[in-house]
Structure 1
Amino acid sequence: MTMTAYTFYILISFVVLLLFSAIRILREYERGVIFLLGRFWKVKGPGLIIVVPLIQQMVRVDLRTIVMDVPSQDVISRDNVSVKVNAVVYFRVIEPDKAIIQVEDFYVATSQLAQTTLRSVLGQHELDEMLSERERLNTDVQSILDQQTDAWGIKVSNVEIKHVDLDESMVRAIAKQAEAERTRRAKVIHAEGEMQAADKLLEAARTLSQQSQALQLRYLQTLTEIAGERSNTIVFPLPMELIESLIKKVE
């Protein structure tokens, strides 16, 4: 083998290796951000793409939804109650070029922003609102995060507050408050029942007063009910109106 043939084989091998190293395969959920001599060129993918070695560089970006757990944050509510709150954030990259160029690490940046936003939003509400209005708080946090990360090519689709942890003393205080609230409602319901019963009794008394015979029939019905209870002695007040009517009939 001459030197020329040997050089030719080396050159062919180098070209083949160069071609193999230039081939990239991107999955359906991946995109490649291509830089040409250090400057942004375009976004490629998915499928088979060619990246010229030494001249072009590629950064892979995953477009799937990322589920990020926000660590527990110490939050002081507007009514000065200290709680620990953690949440989960769902987001994805919709513009790969911005996610790579505009921020150093979009995952870390989104995580830090989610933590500060969670503390800021929840600190503006009272404890009762944190416990009873989670849907509204989730929407508020998601809206703020989505606006802030729009410049990074990030779309925050959902935020869910998972736990609001209280210390034992606050749990006991809330339990006492709930018990007092139930007692108050029971008393109010009882008072409303007494008021309605009084109104009905007043209406019944007015109806009975219009006909004396109706009052007599009512007394007789009551006697019938008492007689069925197997009591030995029955003490029953006899109204004077009934006696007077009987005397008049005898006369």
Structure 2
Amino acid sequence: YNATSQLAQTTLRSVLGQHEMDEMLAGRDELNRDIQNILDAETDVWGIKVSNVEIKRVDIDESMIRAIARQAEAERERRAKIINAEGEFQAAERIRQAAEIIASQPQALQLRYLQTLNDIGIQNNTTIVFPVPLDLLKPLLTMAERGELERRG
């Protein structure tokens, strides 16, 4: 009896030492089968048949519980960073696509400019700064210069 008990304890420690903590907590059935197979093979020469092994509970000390909690928190943070990075990548890709469309169709940029002006006009601002592109003013400036030259000449 004593030899069987010692073998069971040694086998239990050996099998548990080969697994991570989360595997021990989640995969008890697999651990039970591994321990049973080892014990059955070792005790067969003694004429003992091990038909069932069951780990009733796994006791974890407080420091290990804190370590597991820290590991779980780090994993959650890692996943959140990955999700955030994927979102940033998708947003950057959409911006790149929009820039390509606008670059290939100059009218799209002018339309966006007019839509922005419309949005500014809807707001209840007391002061509106109206940016005017220089290419819109060039014809007016040219006409003004001609008129000035004609008056002088």
Give the TM-score band, short-chain normalised.
0.5 to 0.7
Q: Which residue number corresponds to residue 55 of structure 2? A: 161
Listed as ranges, the gaps of 5+ residues in structure 1 are 1-104
> The residue matched to 2:56 in structure 1 has which SS?
strand
* RMSD (CA atoms): 3.5
Find out whether 1:213 has 2:107 as its counterpart.
yes
Q: Which residue number corresponds to residue 244 of structure 1? A: 135
Compared with structure 1, are the counterparts of its residues 110 and 226 closer, same or farther at alpha carbon in structure 2 (3 Å cutoff)?
farther
Distance 1:155 1:165 in 2: 24
Structure 1: which amino acid aligns with 2:9?
Answer: Q
Determine which structure has the larger strand proportion and give its number.
1
Compared with structure 1, are the counterparts of its residues 238 and 116 closer, same or farther at alpha carbon in structure 2 (3 Å cutoff)?
same
Structure 1 residue 111: deviation in Å? 5.2
Structure 1 residue 190: deviation in Å? 1.2
Distance 1:161 1:239 in 2: 78
Q: Which residue number corresponds to residue 139 of structure 1? A: 33
* Aligned pair partner of 1:171 in 65, 78, 93: 65
Compared with structure 1, are the counterparts of its residues 237 and 211 closer, same or farther at alpha carbon in structure 2 (3 Å cutoff)?
farther
Structure 1: which amino acid aligns with 2:74?
Answer: A
Q: Which residue number corresponds to residue 193 of structure 1? A: 87
Q: Which residue number corresponds to residue 11 of structure 2? A: 117
Structure 2: which amino acid aligns with 1:172?
Answer: R
Structure 1 residue 176: deviation in Å? 2.0
Distance 2:72 2:130 in 1: 47
Range with greater deviation from structure 2 (132-141 or 186-195):
132-141
Structure 1 residue 189: deviation in Å? 1.9
Contact 2:36 2:50 in 1 (8 A): no
Compared with structure 1, are the counterparts of its residues 142 and 224 closer, same or farther at alpha carbon in structure 2 (3 Å cutoff)?
farther
Larger radius of gyration: 1
Distance 1:222 1:147 in 2: 79
Listed as ranges, the gaps of 5+ residues in structure 2 are 144-153
Alignment deviations for residues 140-192 of structure 1 (CA, whole Å, 9 cap, x no partner): 11211232344525252x43433221111221222122212212221232122
Structure 1 residue 194: deviation in Å? 1.1
Structure 2: which amino acid aligns with 1:213?
Answer: Q
> The residue matched to 2:18 in structure 1 has which SS?
coil
> The residue matched to 2:42 in structure 1 has which SS?
helix
Contact 2:15 2:35 in 1 (8 A): yes
Structure 2: which amino acid aligns with 1:154?
Answer: K
Structure 2: which amino acid aligns with 1:180?
Answer: A
Q: Which has the higher contact order (CA 8 A, sep 6+)?
A: 1
Compared with structure 1, are the counterparts of its residues 132 and 232 closer, same or farther at alpha carbon in structure 2 (3 Å cutoff)?
same
TM-score with structure 1 length normalisation? 0.43
Distance 1:181 1:196 in 2: 23
Distance 2:7 2:30 in 1: 19
Compared with structure 1, are the counterparts of its residues 168 and 199 closer, same or farther at alpha carbon in structure 2 (3 Å cutoff)?
same
TM-score with structure 2 length normalisation? 0.65
